[in-house]
Amino acid sequence: MSRFVLITPNTDFDSRVRQALAGGLPGGLQTFAFVNPADPGELFTNLNQERPEVLILGPDIPMEDALRLATVFDVQLPELSVILVGEADPAFVLLAMRAGIRDILSPAADPAQIRVLLERACQSFASRNRNTNTSSADKNPEGRKGLVIGVFSPKGGVGKTTIATNIAIGLGKVAPMSVVIVDLDLQFGDVASGLYLDPEHTVTDAVSASASQDSLVLKAFLTVHPGSIYALCAPRTPEEADNITPHQVSRLLEQLAEQFQYVIVDTAPGLPEIGLAALEQCTDVVWVTAMDVPSIRGLRSGLNILRRLDLLPETRHVVLNMADSKSGLSVQDVEATIGAPVDISIPRSKAVAFSTNRGIPVLQDGRRDPAVKGLRQLVARFDPAWRATAQKKLHRRVVV
């Protein structure tokens, strides 16, 4: 069966797609140099009436023909994932979205980037096909959105970004290409360096008028990471952050929650307006503290303020990071100070520090380390299977 169909006369791009599929994606590829946009039905004749999952409109196809083909297939096969190879210009992306195109792929994409996008396209096909075959009585009447997981700490230097990036990478293994991490430390965010990314677009682009009105435009501003996740990194300069409002951040998180199963939000230290706007959108909050008196007291003060403002989400997870039994403090001391149980303890680790400096999260690196166990336990708390059976275990005493 030809699971993937590519239309392009460009042999170099055809070779890159085949290399991407050879990296582990099942299903065959059939390539056509040309399909008459006036008679796209001939494509199915050549496929022996088989219906592919992903159609790639490759380079060197006239853009008008590509949009016309996409429009026809969107009507005839609405579950088909159509990918267009072209530059992600916002004005053009809007036309592509209206034609039913699901994603835009750069003509210069390498096999690894192509594979990641094809994986997401296959998942989108499976989801739409499942929804098409599901009766309306079986569908979720609430239109449930994805989890929005905020990572917060009143104090800086507690490893908050390290926690956030590892959560994202860990969830990328649970739900590949259904995870996006957003860096809302707008002035000095480190998600890009923590994931070794050099993003072409940032949060500044994602809150623009065109992106806020159209989710396909927004997706064009996300950066793909090899860990099967997307990232939306902080602005390039602190000055750009001054132009981003809490309302724009709220809208951004609403859009992403409609498109992704998991939205991980790395926030700035303290409780700035942007952070409070993000907090209101969160379904889960991860509170991070180190094992020192200033961090613990800072978390206590922050929690007390949020309780008075009635801004604490029902589902919270307290993480004791860089835990050390020789610090002079115990878990009981921490819990008594903050007035809440510690859920996850992550021991101090040279491997975590090394992985952070390399820009490769320790959960992506795959090495064995005591800190890895704690990070995996944290990630598991967002797995639907775990949450369905372990609600009573959300808050258990931990040992350092």
- Please report, for the domain that includes residue 225, its CATH number: 3.40.50.300
DSSP for 131-159 reads: HHTS-TTTS-TT----EEEEEE-SSSSSS
* CB-CB contact of 20 with 111 (8 Å): yes
Assess whether 199 and 344 both reside in one domain: yes
| Residue (of 268, 73, 265, 279) closest to 155 by Cα position | 268
| Residue (of 297, 336, 306) closest to 158 by Cα position | 297
pLDDT digits (tens, 9 = 90+) for 108-150: 889 888 888 888 888 777 766 654 444 333 333 345 688 999 9
Q: Which of 109, 132, 155 is the last residue of a domain?
A: 132
Assess whether 161 and 68 both reside in one domain: no
319 contact partners, CB below 8 Å, separation of at least 6: 163, 286, 287, 288, 289, 342, 343, 344, 345, 346, 378
Assess whether 263 and 389 both reside in one domain: yes
- pLDDT for the residue 195: 93
- Is residue 398 one of the residues assigned to a domain? no
- Is residue 41 one of the residues assigned to a domain? yes
- pLDDT for the residue 42: 67
- Is residue 399 one of the residues assigned to a domain? no
332 contact partners, CB below 8 Å, separation of at least 6: none
| Residue (of 117, 299, 111) closest to 220 by Cα position | 117
> CB burial class (10 A; 0-12, 13-18, 19+) of residue 260?
buried
CA-CA-CA-CA dihedral for 263, 268, 270, 273, to nearest 10: -80
Low-confidence ranges of the chain (pLDDT < 50): 1, 131-142, 392, 397-400
Assess whether 156 and 252 both reside in one domain: yes
Assess whether 166 and 251 both reside in one domain: yes
Name the region of 314 (left: φ>0; alpha: ψ -120 to 50; beta: rest).
alpha
Name the region of 387 (left: φ>0; alpha: ψ -120 to 50; beta: rest).
alpha
Q: How many domains does the chain have?
A: 2
Assess whether 362 and 247 both reside in one domain: yes
Q: Which of 132, 167, 188 is the last residue of a domain?
A: 132
Assess whether 163 and 189 both reside in one domain: yes
- Is residue 137 one of the residues assigned to a domain? no
Q: Is beta strand 262-267 parallel, antiparallel or unpaired with respect to 147-152?
A: parallel
* CB-CB contact of 305 with 276 (8 Å): no
Please report which helix (H) or strand (E) contains residue 84, including its range: strand 81-85
- pLDDT for the residue 397: 46
pLDDT digits (tens, 9 = 90+) for 149-159: 999 988 888 88
- Is residue 249 one of the residues assigned to a domain? yes
Domain span including residue 298: 147-393
Q: Which of 132, 155, 177 is the last residue of a domain?
A: 132
- Is residue 344 one of the residues assigned to a domain? yes
Assess whether 203 and 119 both reside in one domain: no
- pLDDT for the residue 41: 66
366 contact partners, CB below 8 Å, separation of at least 6: none
* CB-CB contact of 53 with 80 (8 Å): yes
* CB-CB contact of 16 with 110 (8 Å): yes
Between the CA of residue 161 and those of 62, 189, 220, 344, what are the distances in Å? 44, 8, 24, 16
d(CA 111, CA 117): 10
- Is residue 223 one of the residues assigned to a domain? yes
For the packed helices 273-281 and 246-259, what is the interaxial angle rounded to 10 degrees? 30
User: Which CATH number belongs to the domain containing residue 50 in this structure?
Assistant: 3.40.50.2300
- pLDDT for the residue 138: 37
| Residue (of 123, 124, 121, 105) closest to 16 by Cα position | 105
Assess whether 128 and 152 both reside in one domain: no
Assess whether 152 and 25 both reside in one domain: no
Name residue, tokens 């500044």: 204
Assess whether 123 and 152 both reside in one domain: no
Assess whether 99 and 171 both reside in one domain: no
